[in-house]
Structure 1
Amino acid sequence: MADPKEQPKWGTTLSKFFIVPQRWILAIMGFFAIFNAYTMRVCLSQAITVLVVKKNYSAAHESEAICEPDDESSPTAREGGSYEWSEEKQGLILASFYIGYIVTHVPGGILADKFGGKWTLSLGILATAFFTVVTPVCIVEGGSDALIVLRVLMGLGEGTTFPALSVLLASWVPASERGMLGALVLGGGQVGSIAGNLLSGIILDSMDWPYVFYFFGILAIVWFIIFTVLCFSSPYTHPFIKPSEREFLAQEIPPKDKNQPKTPWKAIFTNVPMYALISAQIGHDWGFYIMVSYLPKYMADVLRFSIKSNGLYSSLPYVTMWIMSLVSGCVADQMIKRNWMNTTNTRKVMTALAAFGPAVFMVAASYAGCDRALVVTCFTICMGLMGTYYAGMKLTPLDLSPNYAGTLMAITNGIGALTGVISPYLVGVMTPNASMMEWRIVFWLAFAVLCATAVVYCIWASGEVQTFNDGTNSNKKPEAK
């Protein structure tokens, strides 16, 4: 076991130049890891609106209730591209990312648990960045089929992100700061969605569409370089952490035993709170992936926003979601610290808010018709409430088992990502005309999935460390002597 007091002399010298604690630096770089992951993931949702042939609105039936163009539209504002991809084909393209995303979750979690999260995280992001940069060439030379394959490869790279970050958070973040720093890191998803939508809209409005992919891919490569220099898998392998912080973390988070038992798969897969966690993940991902993949298309095809307006209004809901994720993280920490509510009930309250609220406002948006201000308001409240999920069930893997947090996150996020394959493709099938009535059915289905899965979590979830955290292949608590 590493001695937390051991540190090279040059490391002690360098540590004097860091005012911010290393766990905060890790959290900030973790935030930008997810930020980059999401910008690269969502930018296609904006770009696809100018890649495909423009929808023929004049041929649409009046009952489809498609809105008139917004005031900012011009004759060229919503010009389409040359690719004749049906709504179903577009759904398959947007869903294909999650096919690869699922595959590397469990291997990524296992590798991060065994070898540390640094390289598991950074190399995955680097691979995704490379595939993002070559996306324009892939589209021009290979069309939709080549793009589907490339998106699968991008998913393979990005699938390690959340499992690796869970391991890093478990190694660096004390329980007393878990809600705040966890929400900060995981909030990178919302800010990445904001930047991905807003900046994509600006770039598409002023430059050719390939620059969207060049910009976000290169940005992720820059992150990779900085992260690999500044961040390490644990406080005990960090060469220039301050001795005082090193000793503090040694008391709060004891070093892992190098002879840690093998992953207790049987206990994990027979654990009731684990299945409650999986349920909540499925529900959240069903709603979230629909919004991430299709909100720009809904704004473009149904509300008929211009390219620039689409980027702005598609990003607003994520601004609220990010703010709520940070606020709810701090609130959750205080609720637990001040004994207002135990960890289990705190996680349940936050998860319930993140499911029932969005379910209601998602459906409400479909009944707001062509009232753009009301629709954007509904979507903004919907995603804002969804932000409390990051102080709820997203931290549950760390609560259940700090030692196997990466593996638990990999299992839950991987299973949840199945909805990333199903829901975007299903939306494409259910909305062949991209009409408001078709979308209303989509949102009612999301309402049912969000509510049903949240009920399961609220009944059977737990925020207590489980017995399998010690490598015990059983869920039975030892009898008191």
Structure 2
Amino acid sequence: MLVRERTMKEWQSGSEDGGEEDRRPLLGDAESGSCHIQQYPLPTPAAKVPVCCSARYNLAVMALFGFFMLYALRVNLSVALVDMINSTSTNQENTSSKVCPEHSISPKVPHNSTGKKYNWDANTQGWILGSFFYGYILTQIPGGYLAGKIGGKLLLGFGIFGTAALTLLTPVAADLGAEYLIAVRALEGLGEGVTFPAMHAMWSHWAPPLERSRLLSLSYAGAQLGTVVSLPLSGLICYYMDWSYVFYIFGAVGVLWFIMWLFVVSDTPQVHKSITDSEKQYILSTLHNQLSQQNSVPVCAIIKSVPLWAIVVAHFSYNWTFYTLLTLLPTYMNDILRFNAQENGFLSALPYFGCWVFMNITGLIADYMREKLNYSTVAVRKIFNTIGMIGPALFLLAAGYTGCNYKLAVAFLTLSTTLGGFSVSGYNINHLDIAPSYAGLLLGITNTFATIPGMVGPVIAKSLTHANTVEQWQIVFYIAAAINIFGAIFFAIFASGTVQTWAVSQKKEDEG
């Protein structure tokens, strides 16, 4: 069979640097370190399994739209907040007019200024932007644990539904006061915190090993796509309508997605109502020996795992830059580069469009290097992670020295975020390399640490940019770049591409 021939070829091409072991997680051959691959049942030939309109790809598409909504609901405040603030407030020092001249790349149109304005100073704005992550950090690990117990469908669905419902209440909360808005955003974070671990848990039952990269890339790419669409769309809504409609529109669409999610997807192939027998058998046969049989989690071994801490440091470092730009890029565009709300949204979206494109391209390149050029897993992870972290750091620093050359600034910021797409084939998938059975839990652990930058990054950045000068923003970029470079070096030294011994179940060790 084609699958058996490919598997044997990969085993025979293993190198002394862990080539045999580190190919196994990508191909799904085994988790135990045993070379008796004939004991694992081979999947049905791919040619006999439908792809178009299949249940697993329907799940990927629904997940894509789900993560699209997840990030649309998360980042819309970044654009709306610019229009919510009273720029003439005596409580906020505003010197943006002294930095750069105002630019316009599109014809001027009447601006709807009927939305309410609030006298929130820079510190208050920082807390508003960072409050989401105070809730988000609390439900990462519990979300991964609960998804393993009750399934990911309802957990992910209600996580997004709760965020959408609270988004509809955002204008009311803002009118009541900054503290109410902070509370609502923190509750939204609680709902969204379970979503990524829940989706990982669902894919552990749905994604055949040889299709895992494609399915996961398709579903998680929705996050970048949501950022790309929501930033300019939020700017348009603010410009032509009222900032409150940003929350009403996105919140309503999120509720509609939740209703579709309930009726279209299932936790596992076994309980799906419309899946074909051939597809069900294909998925179940390929995953038969992929899931751990252990009843308990090796907590102590996980805590002591150096390769896991390499992912933690890289994830934390990458997210510092990512979240800083995600929450503050619209403000930088408005206060320093002097773009209006309409232009602000489009230009703020450019970096994430580049990242979305590179996420898909670099995933294909990484798989080609592994399968055709015989690069080891650890080598591929380190190469792509280094490019995906040091590259953005260098261009971020360069953006801080462009002054009022807005074209060059936008180009450098776009290149910075675009190169970050390389890291998806670096630390981001490394959970599956070192512990396939616990990938969801490990994601919850690393994402818990990686949420801290979202909590403190905006607050620190806002506290450093009271006067909105180029020099102050350079300090913000220096901090982000330094953290990114440190994370890249740490991962390059301590990362691994092989399955760790603590991730192997006792049952499979006995069989080996």
Q: Same fold (TM over 0.5)?
A: yes
Equivalent pair of 2:381/2:430 in contact (CA under 8 Å): yes
Q: Give the 3 Å change call, closer, same or farther, for CA 451–478 of structure 1 in structure 2.
A: farther
- How many Å separate the matches in 2 of 1:49 and 1:76? 17
Give the alignment of 1:297-446 within 5 angstroms.
Answer: 297-446=331-480
Q: Tell me the secondary structure at the aligned position of residue 269 of structure 2.
A: coil
Q: Which one is further off, 94-103 or 192-201?
A: 192-201
Could you state the TM-score of these two structures normalised by the residue count of structure 1? 0.90
- Please name the residue that 2:295 is paired with: 261
Q: Which amino acid aligns with 1:280?
A: A
- Please name the residue that 1:456 is paired with: 490
Equivalent pair of 1:177/1:333 in contact (CA under 8 Å): no
- How many Å separate the matches in 1 of 2:502 and 2:156? 25
- Offset, 1:82: 2.5
- Please name the residue that 1:185 is paired with: 219
Equivalent pair of 1:95/1:420 in contact (CA under 8 Å): yes
Deviations 1:351-375 (A, max 9, x none): 1121011001111111111111111
Q: Give the 3 Å change call, closer, same or farther, for CA 283–324 of structure 1 in structure 2.
A: same
- Offset, 1:376: 0.9
- Please name the residue that 2:36 is paired with: none
- How many Å separate the matches in 1 of 2:235 and 2:493? 42
- Please name the residue that 2:151 is paired with: 116
- Please name the residue that 2:26 is paired with: none
- Offset, 1:194: 1.0
- Please name the residue that 2:21 is paired with: none
- How many Å separate the matches in 2 of 1:412 and 1:91? 24
Q: Give the 3 Å change call, closer, same or farther, for CA 236–208 of structure 1 in structure 2.
A: same
- How many Å separate the matches in 2 of 1:465 and 1:129? 38
Deviations 1:442-479 (A, max 9, x none): 1011110001011111111123222222356xxxx979
- How many Å separate the matches in 2 of 1:228 and 1:255? 29
- Offset, 1:78: 10
Give the alignment of 1:219-298 within 5 angstroms.
Answer: 219-254=253-288, 260-298=294-332
Equivalent pair of 1:358/1:382 in contact (CA under 8 Å): yes
Equivalent pair of 1:264/1:468 in contact (CA under 8 Å): yes
- How many Å separate the matches in 2 of 1:60 and 1:49? 13
Give the alignment of 1:6-85 within 5 angstroms.
Answer: 19-54=52-87, 66-71=99-104, 72=106, 82-85=117-120
- How many Å separate the matches in 2 of 1:404 and 1:350? 23
- How many Å separate the matches in 1 of 2:285 and 2:241? 53
Give the alignment of 1:83-98 within 5 angstroms.
Answer: 83-98=118-133
- Offset, 1:273: 0.6
Q: Which amino acid aligns with 2:229?
A: A
- How many Å separate the matches in 1 of 2:307 and 2:426? 14
- Please name the residue that 1:12 is paired with: none
Q: Tell me the secondary structure at the aligned position of residue 177 of structure 2.
A: helix
Equivalent pair of 2:292/2:437 in contact (CA under 8 Å): no
Deviations 1:17-66 (A, max 9, x none): 99422221111122222111110110000000011111589x8679x961
Q: Which amino acid aligns with 1:440?
A: Q
Equivalent pair of 2:112/2:240 in contact (CA under 8 Å): no
Q: Which amino acid aligns with 1:129?
A: A
Identity %: 36
- Please name the residue that 2:44 is paired with: none
Equivalent pair of 2:316/2:449 in contact (CA under 8 Å): yes
Equivalent pair of 1:138/1:146 in contact (CA under 8 Å): yes
Q: Which one is further off, 222-231 or 313-322?
A: 222-231
Could you state the TM-score of these two structures normalised by the residue count of structure 2? 0.84
Q: Give the 3 Å change call, closer, same or farther, for CA 55–438 of structure 1 in structure 2.
A: farther
- How many Å separate the matches in 1 of 2:160 and 2:358? 26
Superposed CA RMSD: 2.7
Q: Give the 3 Å change call, closer, same or farther, for CA 113–387 of structure 1 in structure 2.
A: same
Give the number of aligned pairs.
461
Give the alignment of 1:158-197 within 5 angstroms.
Answer: 158-197=192-231
Q: Unmatched 5+ residue regions in structure 1?
A: 5-15
Q: Which amino acid aligns with 1:67?
A: C
- How many Å separate the matches in 2 of 1:127 and 1:147? 15
Deviations 1:86-118 (A, max 9, x none): 111101110000000000111000011222211
Please point out which of 163, 168, 171 is paired with 1:128: 163
Equivalent pair of 2:112/2:241 in contact (CA under 8 Å): no
Q: Which amino acid aligns with 2:334?
A: A
- Offset, 1:73: 8.3
Q: Unmatched 5+ residue regions in structure 2?
A: 1-40, 42-48
- How many Å separate the matches in 1 of 2:471 and 2:111? 25
Equivalent pair of 2:112/2:242 in contact (CA under 8 Å): no
Deviations 1:183-242 (A, max 9, x none): 222221211111110110111111111110011111111111111211122223323222
Q: Tell me the secondary structure at the aligned position of residue 119 of structure 2.
A: coil
- Offset, 1:338: 2.0
